[in-house]
Amino acid sequence: MKQHVYYQHLKVMLPSIYRGIWGAAVHTLKTRGTPTCRFLSTCEGVPFGLADAESIFALSSGHGRCGVAVVRASGPASATALRCMAGVSRSPPPPRTALLRSIRDPISKEVLDRGLVFWFPGPHSFTGEDSVEFHIHGGPAVITAVLQALGSVPGMRPAEAGEFTRRAFQAGKLDLTEVEGLGDLIHAETEAQRRQALRQMSGELGHLYQDWTHRLKRCLAHVEAFIDFSEDELIEDGVLNQVDRWVCDLQAEMERHLKDERRGERLRSGVQVVIAGATNAGKSSLLNTLCQRPAAIVSPIAGTTRDIVETALDIGGFPVLLSDTAGLRESPDLVEREGVRRARERVEQADLTLVVADCADLPSDAQQAAAFLQEHLRSVLPPQEQPETVFPADRLLLVLNKMDLLPEEQRLELDGELRQVSGFPPVCLISCHTKEGVHDFLTVLHSSVKTLCGDPLSGAPTLTQARHRAHLQQCFAAMAQYQRYRDLDLALAAEGVRLALTSLGRITGRVGAEEILDIIFKDFCIGK
């Protein structure tokens, strides 16, 4: 009777496994008793639902011709794929060990390629499921043949974008902050971005939020215990005072965490650097000098640049989105006026503005030149950033182009005068024509960008996503609800702590994360 029940259970659990394997399993059961079927599907320890999931496969390495391509499969049918495509025997191969095998079509038995196969039994795999990897030659024909062969394995289907990582999240292998760190690491283009993403993927940000979650749970437990048992005198005096201190400490830590000037978000998306100034000051020449290619048209005709010209740069390991803009002047030309409007709008949005001035337009007297430049800065900056005495040094660089047109004595006199002007932004004298002063300018630019982004390896982990900030602000406001209702209605105060917990849980994916999963995982590439 027990054997009959086991037959039926095996049929339900493994409907897509090869008939040959099913027959072998039944034969083994009749001759040797109940088998473990370890290599058929290794899913013990996997959260409920994953063992019944469809098996998926995809090319995990990049598309195009390459020396080696990696094709990954995950799910209960991975063992079947390994057996029928790589000729692995019924017993499981050593986990995480490279095996050199001929990769065959499971139907025609034609050899498709010869490569390495790796077996990752669940739950000790990236997804938490049984997984297999085929390391094959990276020619398009080989990759296509292997993917088609996997598609013919019963129970296998092509993976959707980010599905492997989604299964890892569902198996508890990663929280959402680690998932986002992994996504950022895949898309990192500069050294600083790589460092920040790797730090987040390692779990530092998630551990910080988990610590806050644990402390909030303790606050909630104490408040609810006081509500339920204080009348029976089973709760010590001063419990709520202790909760008050805990909540205040958490608020102070979150406030410091939120006051990061968006460094992590800026590093993740790139620093918005805008080149602005009067016509024919050399803005487009500066853009071309920085990106070392003719990205913008350079002409002696004033007003050549009408629209925004953008280019992405790596400045000392930090990502920069550099924008060249139309020269700022009054013009009867409707198109040029629209270009000026867009230029001013971009300056308002900039993290850092490079105000370019033509040295040939400066008065010969150093003091008059300093006054001229102060007025020039005010004409470029938006009204809300025009100071009485001090310019925002961390958001502004003054670039004096065409320094080769100034005599050496006048350069030194001008540089000395500008250094003495109180509240003046950093000044760089350069020549886009002779490249004189460009190296010093790049040093100053790198320092400004690094200040805006911060060091991704030092201090506490920083916010990297707008959704993190939104949920933390909601958490902060919910804790303020506790303080507001603490002496009026303790039940409402406890609800504030509960809401704070929910907001923190949405960051890591521990509470109410379903509605944001699609947004996060859709940015992943197929096979990751």
Cα separation of 209 and 216, whole Å? 10
**Model pLDDT for residues 316-334, shown as the tens digit of each residue:** 999 999 999 999 999 888 9
CATH of the domain at 336: 3.40.50.300
Query: Which one-letter amino acid corresponds to residue 505?
Result: G
Q: Which residue has the higher pLDDT, 98 or 237?
A: 98
Place of tokens 């949005």: 349
CA distance 49 to 393: 56
- Give the mean pLDDT of 345-354: 94
pLDDT at 511: 62
Residues forming a β-bridge with 480: none
Range of the structural domain that residue 85 is part of: 55-159
Percent of the chain predicted with pLDDT > 70: 84
Query: Cα separation of 121 and 238, whole Å?
Result: 52
Q: In this structure, is residue 358 part of a structural domain?
A: yes
CB-CB contact of 104 with 87 (8 Å): yes
Q: How confident is the model at residue 512 (pLDDT cuts 50, 70, 90)?
A: very low
- 289 with 423, same domain: the answer is yes
Q: Please indicate, yes or no, whether residues 112 and 256 belong to a single structural domain of this protein.
A: no
Cα torsion at 447, 452, 455, 461 (round to 10°)?
A: 180
Instruction: Identify whether residues 228 and 333 lie together within a single domain.
Output: no
Model confidence, pTM = 0.78
Residue 384, Cβ density class (10 Å: 0-12 exposed, 13-18 middle, ≥19 buried): exposed
Amino acid residing at 340:
V
Q: Look at residue 65 and tell me if it is in a domain.
A: yes
User: 57: helix, coil or strand?
Assistant: strand
Q: How many domains does the chain have?
A: 3
Domain CATH number, residue 77: 3.30.1360.120
Query: Is a pLDDT exceeding 90 seen at residue 300?
Result: no
> Are 248 and 106 contained in the same domain?
no
> DSSP secondary-structure letter at 106?
T
Q: Please report which helix (H) or strand (E) contains residue 69, including its range.
A: strand 66-74
Residues 236, 312 share a domain? no
Q: Are strands 318-324 and 156-158 parallel, antiparallel or unpaired?
A: unpaired
- Report yes or no on 206 lying in a domain: no
Do residues 273 and 255 both lie within one domain?
no
Same domain, 292 and 356: yes
Q: Are residues 328 and 424 in the same domain?
A: yes
Q: How far apart are CA 474 and CA 494, in angstroms?
A: 15
Domain-embedded: residue 294: yes
Same-domain check for residues 253 and 109: no
For residues 69-86, give the mean pLDDT.
95
Residue 238 tokens, joined: 């001063």
In a domain, 471, yes or no: yes
User: 242 lies in a domain?
Assistant: yes
Kindly state whether residues 309 and 440 are assigned to the same domain.
yes
328 and 282 inside one domain: yes
For the chain, helix (H) and strand (E) counts, in that order, are: 18, 12
Same domain? For 132 and 251 the reply is no
What pLDDT sits at residue 516? 45
